[in-house]
Amino acid sequence: MHAPTTTRRFTLSLLATSCLATTGLLAMPRAAFAFDAPGWPAAAFSKKTEADAIAALYGQKLTASDKIRLEAPDIAENGAVVPVSVSTTLPNVTRISLMASHNPFTLAADYVLPAGTEPAVACRLKMAKTSDVIAIVESNGKIYGARKSVKVTLGGCGG
Amino acid sequence: MFHSRLRAAALLAGMLGAMVLAQAPARAAPAPNPEADRLAFQAYFRKNYPAVKNSDWGNGPYALNAGMRKQWEAIMQFPPYEFALAAGEKEFNRKFANGRSYADCFPNKGIGIRQNYPYFDTKTGEVVTLGIAINRCRVANGEKPLGYKKGLLAAIETYMAHTSRGKPFDIKVPNDPRALAAYEAGKKFFYSRRGQLNFSCASCHVQKAGHRLRGDILAPALGIMAAFPIYRSKWGEMGTIQWRFVGCNKQVRSVPFKPQSKIYRDLEYFLSYMSNGVPITGPGARP
Amino acid sequence: MSSTIRVRAVASGGTTVVQALINHPMDSGFVKNSKGKLIPPHYIEVLTFEHAGKKVFTAFWGPAVSKDPYIKFTFKGGAKGDDLKISWVDNLGKHDSLTAKLVG
Amino acid sequence: MSSAAVRRGTLALTVAMMLAPAMAAAATKTDAEAAIAAARKAEAAAGVLQNQWLPTEAALKMAAKALAAGKYDAAVATAKRAHALAELSIQQAREQDKLWHNEVVR
């Protein structure tokens, strides 16, 4: 995750974002119109790249781990409802986050698991286009990641 | 260049038509035989898709594609139509101003009867779908009729379909010329190519069932009515068969008809009859 | 009006499996309505689950969570009849909560 | 008759149709109104056969807008395209009236 690719990724996703959203919306700082619930990691949710979101949320490098089972479809039936489930055998898991690399805002969901809650969660996410779903698990204070590519295409013949 | 061939073909067809016309009455369309049609229709699907169990035809694309089925099963753990189901049940048990309720309008108090709809009403001489029956009940009890595409009517249909889960379709086409005509009209609509894309319902749901259309898998026509009403992620709410007909027509760039118009009710009548014996799987969740 | 939260919480063998479905548009702010105007962002930000006075699960959600969102998790403990308090608040300050009973 | 044939047929027909007015003098308001009226009549006929196309409706709307904006050439051209589309949908309905039997699962 060294600097050059970040800036390239940054510009690329910015391009994708601008074609998706009116620039007017983006010019407005996120917090301006949003009432932020207590504890809600606003900064992390406003980041547009995987690296920035991870940095904002955890502030440490991500190391891949094969102890995380990330289930997501190969081809999404509908990009608006992508069933994703994460489970792991890593010990003392306190947090699980889910990201979609090419979404306008990369961080999709962030779950806090107090002691006594099992390290597994299932939910349904929206994906802007074909990209990776990334699961990040915080175990004993360190973060581990797994990724899976999900193909997202338009549905039907859309005459 | 190509167009001239088109016009030539049309001309040729015209001339041929004229010649054939002389004997055409002899080869007039055979008298409608719904049961023979149904047996042939179901035999086509059972032969071409041998792996599909009878109870699975109502699960559309998920009966023909493992990847899609896995996502569907995840969503069915807690399907988004639960809100419509709860709202439908509440409305179904609500008493009208005159003290009566929906249960008084339907046979068996409206429970477990969805598989008999649509039926042919010999008194009025037209096809009556579940949506029409619900609105007839409301109007008869001083309530105003509901929209046929979505909303409260779709919620009521969701509850009634849920009470019929597992019961096989049991549609009747009485030996009444008007019923047979309605059945034939639905059959003709199903097999006629329409719209600028020039597809018929059969082009996709018979000839290409199980194939992919960009992100979607085409549902087989057999049992395609069984899952309705459906919560489509695309709509983000519950929708009826009639709304889906409008959607499909638009997709082939054909001007759609009004929900519950005669042509759509006949189509639903034909398609439901084709699925006789296939169990109800509604309410359904679809992309 | 009836609650926006539907929950199934089954306690068995010392653990409780919780599934919840919430009736919420979860508008991302990138979708246009039929008249071509952008629908403003409106999504749940925080969703909490409490059992026996202790938080057992907290979800921080953003615009990328599906409409009528669903969540499933499991926590150790919990017995039939216990209370499970679920509450959410969204980016417009709207909120709802429900106390459900664990089933056996 | 495959869908590609119909689409190419539409294209060829509309191109032929659009060339005609270029040679003639600039269209007048009455030309535009006449062209639109003719297209509407054809579309109504397609309606009787319960086989109207969405592109025809779109073209009719565009023609009316061009007429209102005083762009008579554009109005005539678009009206002629709508007319051609309506004719094709009528032809499709008539052909399908016989051809649908061939697709029936037997």
* Angle CA D94–B221–B255, to nearest 5: 40
Q: Does A35 touch chain C (CB under 8 A)?
A: yes
Q: Does C17 touch chain B (CB under 8 A)?
A: no
Are residues C72 and B83, on separate chains, in Cβ contact within 8 Å? no
Count helices and strands (H / E) in chain B: 10, 7
Is the whole model's pTM more than 0.90, yes or no?
no
Task: Identify whether the C-beta of residue A100 lies closer than 8 Å to the C-beta of residue C64.
Answer: yes
The distance of D103 to chain B (nearest Cα, Å) reads 6
Q: Identify the burial level of C2 via C-beta atoms within 10 angstroms of its C-beta, where 0-12 means exposed, 13-18 middle and 19 or more buried.
A: exposed
Q: In the numeric block, which tokens belong to residue A118?
A: 């099992």
Write down the ipTM of this complex. 0.81
Mean pLDDT of all residues belonging to chain A = 84
Rounded CA separation B156/A154 (Å): 31
The residue with greater pLDDT, B115 or D106, is B115
Residues of B with CB under 8 A from a CB of C: 75, 77-78, 80, 82-83, 86-87, 90, 233, 236
Are residues B75 and A156, on separate chains, in Cβ contact within 8 Å? no
pLDDT band at A17 (very low <50, low <70, confident <90, very high): low
Q: Kindly list the domain boundaries of chain B, sorted by start residue.
A: 31-287
* Angle CA C11–C17–C18, to nearest 5: 110
Q: Which residue of A has its CA nearest to B67?
A: A73
Sign of CA dihedral C42, C43, C46, C52: positive
Interface test with D, best of B11, B39, B47, B192 (most D CBs within 10 A): B192
Rounded CA separation B162/B155 (Å): 11
Residue A73 included in any domain: yes
Interface of D with B in 56-85 (CB under 8 A): 56-57, 85
Give the residue among B231, B282, C38, C83 at the shortest CA–CA distance from A124. Answer: B231
Residue owning tokens 């090419």: A102
Interface test with A, best of B77, B216, B231, B232 (most A CBs within 10 A): B216
Residue A159 included in any domain: no
Give the residue among B259, B176, B172, B267 at the shortest CA–CA distance from B225. Answer: B267
**3-state DSSP assignment of residue D81:** helix
Give residues with Cβ within 8 angstroms of A56, minimum separation 6: A41, A43, A44, A47
**What is the domain-level CATH number for residue C37?**
2.60.40.10
pLDDT the model gives residue B28: 53
Rounded CA separation C72/B241 (Å): 31
**What is the domain-level CATH number for residue A28?**
2.60.40.2470
What range defines the domain where residue A48 resides?
A: 3-150
pLDDT digits (tens, 9 = 90+) for D53-95: 999 999 999 999 999 999 999 999 999 999 999 999 999 999 9
Q: Does B83 touch chain D (CB under 8 A)?
A: no
Q: Provide the number of structural domains found in chain C.
A: 1
Which run of H or E residues covers position A123? strand A120-125
Residue owning tokens 């086989």: D51
Q: What's the CATH number for B31-287?
A: 1.10.760.10
What range defines the domain where residue C89 resides?
A: 5-101
Q: Does B213 touch chain D (CB under 8 A)?
A: no
* Chain A residue numbers touching B67 (CB-CB < 8 A): 73-75
* Chain A residue numbers touching B197 (CB-CB < 8 A): 157, 159
Q: Kindly list the domain boundaries of chain D, sorted by start residue.
A: 3-103
- For chain C, the straight-line distance linking the first and the last C-alpha, in angstroms and rounded, comes to 28
pLDDT digits (tens, 9 = 90+) for A33-87: 456 678 899 999 999 999 999 999 999 999 999 999 999 999 998 899 999 999 9
pLDDT the model gives residue B25: 43
Rounded CA separation A67/A92 (Å): 13
Q: Provide the number of structural domains found in chain A.
A: 1
Query: What is the mean pLDDT for each group of 10 consecutive residues in chain B (287 residues)?
Result: 65 59 50 94 96 96 94 93 96 96 96 97 96 97 96 97 97 96 97 96 95 90 96 92 96 96 97 97 93
Q: Identify the burial level of C95 via C-beta atoms within 10 angstroms of its C-beta, where 0-12 means exposed, 13-18 middle and 19 or more buried.
A: middle
pLDDT band at A15 (very low <50, low <70, confident <90, very high): low
Interface test with A, best of C39, C61, C68, C88 (most A CBs within 10 A): C61
Q: Which residue of B has its CA nearest to C25?
A: B236
